[in-house]
Amino acid sequence: MLRLAYAPVWIAASVLLVVGVLFASLVPPTLPAAPSYFDKLEHAVAYLCLTLWFTGLVLRSRYGRVALALALFGLVIEFLQEFMPFGRQGDPLDMAANLVGIGVGLAIASVATGGWALKVEAWLNRT
């Protein structure tokens, strides 16, 4: 993790984010089914956001670990969905969409947003 003055806040927010994604991925669906492609877009955007979040908190040299951790997180969720009796099912295409989101997130972080938490903290310290 970067040397962040508000590290406990960033860690707490990260835990809440991961728990939120886990919860949203495992609760029984309550909304009407959306078109199948929309589900894949949701997966890609969710993992893009997770990637941008975590690449803002770590050194650039750790981006590979972020990608691996998020890929494993997505894989675990897909397996959990496959074996739970609550109306969810694992889908290899969901995992592919997760990987697309991670890849796009890494590309964006590499050129634009990486280390954003340091910039936020610098801004907070100016005010």
pLDDT at 88 over 80: yes
pTM: predicted TM-score of the whole model, two decimal places: 0.93
- pLDDT tops 90 at residue 42: yes
Tokens of 31: 């909304």
Identify the band that residue 112 occupies on the pLDDT scale cut at 50, 70 and 90: very high
Higher-pLDDT residue of 83 and 74 is 74
Phi-psi region of 91 (alpha: psi -120 to 50; beta: other; left: phi over 0): beta
Task: Give CA–CA dist 12/40, Å, rounded.
Answer: 28
What average pLDDT is seen over the chain?
Answer: 94
| Residue 5, pLDDT score | 96
Residue 115 DSSP code: T
Q: What is the pLDDT of residue 62?
A: 98
The tens digit of pLDDT for each residue in 1-26 reads 999 999 999 999 999 999 999 999 99
Question: Residues 2, 118: contact at Cβ < 8 Å?
Answer: yes
| Nearest CA-CA partner of 70 in 89, 97, 91 | 97
* pLDDT of 86 above 80: no
Domain ranges of the chain: 7-24+37-126
Q: Is residue 40 within 8 Å of 94, Cβ to Cβ?
A: yes
